[in-house]
Structure 1
Amino acid sequence: MEGTESWGLRHAHDPTVVRGDDGTYYMFSTDAAAVQEHIPSGVHIRTSEDLVTWRFLGTAVDGVPRPAREWSGAKGLWAPEVVRWPGGQWHMYYSASTFGSNTSAIGLAVAPRPAGPWEDRGVILATSSGESTQNAIDAAVTFDRDGEPWLTYGSFFSGIYTLRLDPASGRPAKEGDAGALIARRHPSVEGAIEGAFILYRREEDRYVLFTSYDSLFSTYNIRVAVAEHIEGPYRDLNGTLMTDLEAQPTSVGTKILGSYGFDGDTAWSAPGHNSVLVDGEGEQSDYYMVHHVRFAEDPQQHMAQLRRLFFTEAGWPVVSPQPFAGHEAEALDAPESLAGMWRVVKLEPSSAAVAHAIPMEVTAPAEVVAGKEYDGAPVPVRLDVAGTELDAVVFASWDWSRERSVLSFSGFSADGIAWFGTKGD
């Protein structure tokens, strides 16, 4: 389509990425630019061979399918979730709504492959203003420890819900089931929670809930919590329930990504609505957080990003401070010492401002040999960052401001605050 050739990852909102049987990666996203001339309405698809360079392919469905459009009045589709279904088909769960309304619908389309053709199967879950407390948008699918599918959804209003799906049809296992409430926010912040995604981690045999807080236009940030069961209860790193309305609203959920900037590089604001790509099998899997973000200097411009996702020794997810540049680009030329000056960002949970990197000294506690050299493979480690001890992971990344491969880290202090940084002053 005219005007899309140079997009790359620009205009992609609410992204999710899957890998087809042919090895091609497919990104599905909200049709964020559909209002522009020559830009089609419907779920947008991009393809990539390396997760770095992306090409606009077209749309998965032609506009808003009639059942969803008639129910919601939607002009475009939001937040597609695409997942390989048992038996070989692919399922797409799309959202149809209008801004600020919970007269919304989640629909289902199926295809033999990510590139399509996609066949609409109609609305599977609907909510109505004045009747429903939930909001039927922002679908995400998780297969639990027994291989059973669950649909997690919700935005603002009464919070985030999850319900069991029928493995054969992909529809709710119990007709009319709205699901269990697993996360919510206090009315004082207008219930600002959405874009949930649940990842089952077999290594810890528990579920990791990702959610986005606050305004998608300016103050979005990503929080996590964990649970032993998919229906919860979910608690953050400090043990606070994700349904707690008594705690200070900004203190609930462990913030792992917010607005930040490194000197000499683009400052990013409002990262949010993430999904997780698990690329590979078992212990050899690579994890990527897929999300959209805005340019701090021009918030009207937004794009999708992928960044490496790791797990600390305690099993908590952390993300790279640097967007993914490709494994070859990120590989270190030679092992590097851990100790030295790093540019470090502290992601304060209570702050919505852009957190700028500050030069800080990083040393190794007694249990790690000071000056140990790392080859760039992800390594869980205890770090001392200017006197603060972190449960962290060290790994190789690409420093976009210095244009070189470097060491980075990401981790948590004992009070549940996330820190990340890149080596070099």
Structure 2
Amino acid sequence: MRARYHLSSPGTSTPYSYMFSYYRCTAVALCTCALLSNVEAAPVPTFNSTASVHDPSIVQDGNRYYVFGSHLASAWSDDLMNWHQISTAVVPGNPLFPDAATDLADVLEWSSTDTLWAPDVYQLPDGTWAFYYCASQGDAPRASLGLAYSDDILGPYEDQGVMLQSGMWGQISPDGTVYDATVHPNAVDPALFNDPNDGLWMVYGSYSGGIFIMEMNPQTGWPLPGQGYGTKVMGGNHARIEGAFIAYNPDTQYYYLFVSYGGLAADGGYNIRVARSQDPDGPYLDAAGQDMINAKGAAGTTFDDDSIAPYGVKLMGNAQFLSADGEPYSTSTGYVSPGHNSVLHDATTGKWFNIFHSRFVGRGEEHEVRVHQMFFNDADWPVVAPHRYAGETIGTYTEAELAGDYKVIHHGKDITATVKTSTEVSLNGDGTVTGASTGTWQLDGAHDLQITLGGTTYTGVFCRTWDTDNRLWVDSFTALSADGTALWGSEVAIPERSEPYTPIDLAPIPAQALAIGETLETTLYDRQDATQYVLEYELIDAPAGAAIGAQTGVLTYTPLLDQMGQTVTIRARAYDVLDPSLNAEVAFTVYVGAPQGTLQGANTFDAVATTGIEDADGDPTGLTARLSGTGTALAEQDPKLNLDTAQGVLEIESSQADFNGQAGVAEVSAPGRNLSDFGFTGTQDFVVQAEFGPVQDLAFIDQVGLYVGTSATTATRAGVIVFDAPQAYSAHTQAGTDVGGHFTTVVDPTDGLTVIIARQDGVWYYFVDGVPTHPTTGEADFLDTASDLTVGAFIITPLNADVKTAPLQSLTYQVGAGASSTTDWAQWVLLHFGANPLPEVAGPNADPDHDLRPNLMEYAVGSDPLVWDHAALLATGLVDGHVQLSFDQQADPALRYAVEATSDLTSADWQTIWSSAGEDNTDTEVTVTDSASATGDTPRFLRLRVDSVE
């Protein structure tokens, strides 16, 4: 099997020089173009990209799936596994509403907010996309719910007006009575659904007076007149119920009402419930037969969870499968406050899906979209697979196959911030269950399950699912009790393996050449395909900008500006998780093109500078700027700076203060430099890097790192933040508020810390100890219009008064100058065309000698661009029935050569049979022989493709 690597250019990159030219001789065709090579991918589900969309509402358009959520966040997926972020916030330029602050000004003003809440998107019969938006005050149910249209699912949407409002204190509400928040709805969280006769309905509401349903005009998407707020189906007295979604199942002929109980935060106990009805507007009953209209808080209470917890079928809440002995991994991912779901039925496959957002154990408020397959048990209730969707299809199983050790989670009926963790049981071949719980189990038919534990019987299904924690396919089950409590089971994930083990054999990766702005992507793979291993991957030696997926082996490298003209080495390793002594390495080089010059500088601290901000002893540090707004209350001799030339560090102290201006920012020392010192005028690419020595004694929420910005309230930053452990972190600060906080890999600042922020071709890059760490709310484009930027180091300790110190070793700066650098290609042009030649004569695509060979091809094969020597460029021949191609290769590492072959000139199916780039390029004659025979009736054609990254 082979994985693929390819070159892609995010944003605007250094363009390729594409030259097409053909030469025919004994069935040979020659041309120049760009290089593409292939290697094989691993046969496991891949989760390479995630998205943050709170309250995701799913919409399918053709073969693509979209989710739309609060704050105008959105994402798309082609497989329901890998999600690609489209938008993240209510900001200018959001594709859904490019200027929501203006277009929806009345809505935002009514609700005293600057953001939007959970929407829904529905396609009307004429193809128009209807976007149901809402906004709410947040701490009160003063809300608006409106409608916008677009011809494109991704907008831009044009507002059509408000259909419902709430929170009109002391005034008449839409139902003709004075608004009462304990009875009337909070007009948010709309979700549209159809009945079997194509009637259109909307369910909505959050907390306050409960969940309501209205009948809609199926042609326009507006409510039918005379309904007021519609029909209440559950909730009231500020009970914590929201995020309603209704799906009709034609097989069971029930409408299923999904809601979320509790609070959405990590400590809120959010959990997903369901009830059902034979009519769209209710009544909705739970598995115990209780009418959900009674699921409400007691009179006079607020957030009365105890009164509503007994109602509704609880499908899932906080849950974590703990690691079991013998499993590959000793840690596991747990869901925290999963909720506000939507449902999708794929009519083609018959599969049902539950789409929700979730927080995670140990990751604070960071959340992502998750999709789990959903089934219906014998009692016609939905049950949710215990693991995220990985492309699985429920199958036919035998009791012998399913018997074994399982981890089980009892979800219960409570609303709690406690994470329900797994215990272990054995499903024995004789139908008994032993272990932490005892009872019986049986397989009915192909995959239906009946299991009794502790005297409670659950009915559900078995399905083979992908254990993401352990990266193995496992048997699993999901079931419900008669009163509506969920039980999940997942087979203990122990890989089948026995000695002798096949050695891991990583496929080699050839030398590469990249241009600034390009990204290399390749997948490490074991050529032996030894399935007994559970492999992880790591970088052993790599430049900034390189990263590897620990579980996928996908290696990416985006060169940074300060690497231009260098050949860098990337070394990676694959190892078996259960026995790391079983491992293999692969190494390759990458030449980074140098199409422009740079202006650069650095500040180090092994000597007293002649200028700059003075430390506590009056010694100049060489740093001449602070982020505006910081340090304004500090003395001229900064008491928070200590220049220690013996150790080569500038110690930056911090006590209780907050970088984004919430507290104490006037006494934060955030020293650095202005990029204008290095020729920056606002438009150039740049790379800045901070090197810290060992950072000790950081406490909860303390941060150390590198910033780029114009003031303490307008900046972007990256570094380390402390939760349970120090983690790589990045965030934007806009209008004094942190947004887009991204917490990633655990890092250890006690052995030093390297932080890089770069902007290249409009794309911002963030690396913390080599780990890509990009804020979740997109680019720092709010800084792109600044004519100057301040960059520097910071340390903040928001929550405790203990003094902390960050030992800064160096700050380095590199700004693109835009001028051409002296490359091999530039020297060749100077030699043949002189200084300042016309591009139409000396450019890579020009052909001044009219021999049908552009200059770049002439350069790549060592010929004279001013002499008509078409036939001399390449030699061809036929040897023993195989076509050969010979040419003189040049040692320029910026060139990429490829010889490709085909039997059909009209086909796009050209196969690479030889390639070279980077350090593999040498001054030598190259002869490439086609492995396929050209005898008989099958012709063979070869072509040479060349491009330069400079």
Same-fold status (TM-score > 0.5): yes
Displacement of 1:66 in angstroms is 2.9
Bigger mean CA deviation after superposition, 44-53 or 158-167: 44-53
> CA separation in 1, counterparts of 2:379 and 2:395?
26
Q: Where does residue 36 of structure 1 map in the other structure? A: none
Report the CA distance shift for 1:176/1:101 in structure 2 as closer, same or farther (over 3 A). farther
Match of 2:278 among 220, 228, 244: 228
| 1:357 and 2:422 aligned | yes
Report the CA distance shift for 1:338/1:383 in structure 2 as closer, same or farther (over 3 A). farther
Contact 2:51–2:84 (Cα < 8 Å) also in 1: no
Q: Which amino acid aligns with 2:270?
A: Y
Q: Which amino acid aligns with 1:236?
A: D
> CA separation in 2, counterparts of 1:153 and 1:257?
21
The SS at the match of 2:110 is helix
The SS at the match of 2:284 is coil
Q: Which amino acid aligns with 1:25?
A: Y
The SS at the match of 1:299 is coil
Displacement of 1:105 in angstroms is 0.9
Q: Where does residue 401 of structure 2 map in the other structure? A: 337
Match of 1:13 among 37, 54, 64: 54
| 1:95 and 2:107 aligned | no
| 1:241 and 2:305 aligned | no
Match of 2:121 among 66, 78, 82: 82
Contact 2:441–2:452 (Cα < 8 Å) also in 1: no
Displacement of 1:116 in angstroms is 2.7
Displacement of 1:176 in angstroms is 5.9
> CA separation in 2, counterparts of 1:370 and 1:164?
44
> CA separation in 2, counterparts of 1:337 and 1:384?
19
Report the CA distance shift for 1:238/1:334 in structure 2 as closer, same or farther (over 3 A). closer
The SS at the match of 1:69 is helix
| 1:183 and 2:234 aligned | yes
Q: Where does residue 250 of structure 2 map in the other structure? A: 202
Q: Which amino acid aligns with 1:273?
A: H
Match of 2:343 among 276, 279, 293: 276
Matches within 5 A, 1:140-219: 140-174=191-225, 177-185=228-236, 187=237, 190-217=238-265, 218-219=268-269
Contact 2:148–2:159 (Cα < 8 Å) also in 1: yes
> CA separation in 2, counterparts of 1:332 and 1:406?
14
Structure 1: give runs of 5+ residues left out of the alignment. 32-42
Displacement of 1:365 in angstroms is 5.9
Q: Where does residue 37 of structure 1 map in the other structure? A: none
> CA separation in 1, counterparts of 2:396 and 2:479?
21
Q: Which amino acid aligns with 1:423?
A: E
Bigger mean CA deviation after superposition, 72-81 or 151-160: 72-81
Q: Which amino acid aligns with 2:67?
A: M
Aligned residues: 399
Q: Which amino acid aligns with 1:393?
A: V
Contact 2:427–2:441 (Cα < 8 Å) also in 1: no
> CA separation in 2, counterparts of 1:52 and 1:333?
25
Contact 2:53–2:368 (Cα < 8 Å) also in 1: yes
Which entry has the higher C-alpha Rg, 1 or 2?
Answer: 2
Contact 2:377–2:479 (Cα < 8 Å) also in 1: yes
Q: Which amino acid aligns with 2:261?
A: Y
Q: Which amino acid aligns with 1:288?
A: F
Contact 2:286–2:292 (Cα < 8 Å) also in 1: yes
Q: Which amino acid aligns with 2:407?
A: R
Normalized per residue, which structure has more strand? 1
Report the CA distance shift for 1:44/1:66 in structure 2 as closer, same or farther (over 3 A). same
Q: Where does residue 460 of structure 2 map in the other structure? A: 392
> CA separation in 2, counterparts of 1:19 and 1:331?
25
Contact 2:397–2:447 (Cα < 8 Å) also in 1: no
Residues 1-43 of structure 1: CA deviation (Å, up to 9, x unaligned): 99xxxx943431000222213x122121112xxxxxxxxxxx2
Contact 2:235–2:293 (Cα < 8 Å) also in 1: yes
Report the CA distance shift for 1:387/1:239 in structure 2 as closer, same or farther (over 3 A). closer
Residues 350-404 of structure 1: CA deviation (Å, up to 9, x unaligned): 25111001111235869xx989799xxx833323456643211111211122211
Contact 1:250–1:350 (Cα < 8 Å) also in 2: yes
> CA separation in 1, counterparts of 2:377 and 2:444?
19
Residues 290-310 of structure 1: CA deviation (Å, up to 9, x unaligned): 111112223321112111111
> CA separation in 2, counterparts of 1:116 and 1:220?
31
The SS at the match of 1:301 is coil
Q: Where does residue 318 of structure 2 map in the other structure? A: 259
Contact 1:89–1:112 (Cα < 8 Å) also in 2: yes
Report the CA distance shift for 1:414/1:365 in structure 2 as closer, same or farther (over 3 A). farther
Match of 1:136 among 184, 187, 197: 187
Contact 1:95–1:136 (Cα < 8 Å) also in 2: yes
> CA separation in 1, counterparts of 2:73 and 2:481?
39
> CA separation in 1, counterparts of 2:455 and 2:136?
48
Contact 2:53–2:75 (Cα < 8 Å) also in 1: no
Displacement of 1:270 in angstroms is 0.6
Report the CA distance shift for 1:135/1:340 in structure 2 as closer, same or farther (over 3 A). same
Displacement of 1:203 in angstroms is 1.2
Q: Where does residue 416 of structure 1 map in the other structure? A: 484
Residues 120-158 of structure 1: CA deviation (Å, up to 9, x unaligned): 212121112424321100000111132111111001111
Contact 1:339–1:371 (Cα < 8 Å) also in 2: no
Contact 2:444–2:450 (Cα < 8 Å) also in 1: no
> CA separation in 2, counterparts of 1:332 and 1:57?
39
Report the CA distance shift for 1:371/1:68 in structure 2 as closer, same or farther (over 3 A). closer
Match of 1:306 among 358, 371, 389: 371
| 1:45 and 2:74 aligned | yes
> CA separation in 2, counterparts of 1:206 and 1:333?
28
Match of 2:161 among 119, 122, 128: 122
Displacement of 1:44 in angstroms is 2.1
Contact 2:271–2:415 (Cα < 8 Å) also in 1: no
> CA separation in 1, counterparts of 2:243 and 2:337?
13
Report the CA distance shift for 1:275/1:26 in structure 2 as closer, same or farther (over 3 A). same
Q: Where does residue 56 of structure 1 map in the other structure? A: 85
Contact 1:331–1:397 (Cα < 8 Å) also in 2: no
The SS at the match of 1:419 is strand
Q: Which amino acid aligns with 2:130?
A: H
The SS at the match of 2:153 is coil
Q: Where does residue 347 of structure 1 map in the other structure? A: 411
Structure 2: give runs of 5+ residues left out of the alignment. 1-9, 12-47, 88-93, 172-178, 299-305, 323-330, 433-439, 494-950
Q: Where does residue 786 of structure 2 map in the other structure? A: none
> CA separation in 1, counterparts of 2:442 and 2:458?
17
Displacement of 1:280 in angstroms is 2.5
Report the CA distance shift for 1:380/1:84 in structure 2 as closer, same or farther (over 3 A). farther
> CA separation in 1, counterparts of 2:369 and 2:185?
27
The SS at the match of 1:68 is helix
Report the CA distance shift for 1:8/1:16 in structure 2 as closer, same or farther (over 3 A). farther
Aligned CA-pair RMSD:
3.0
How many percent of aligned residue pairs carry the same amino acid?
31
Q: Where does residue 756 of structure 2 map in the other structure? A: none
| 1:26 and 2:66 aligned | yes
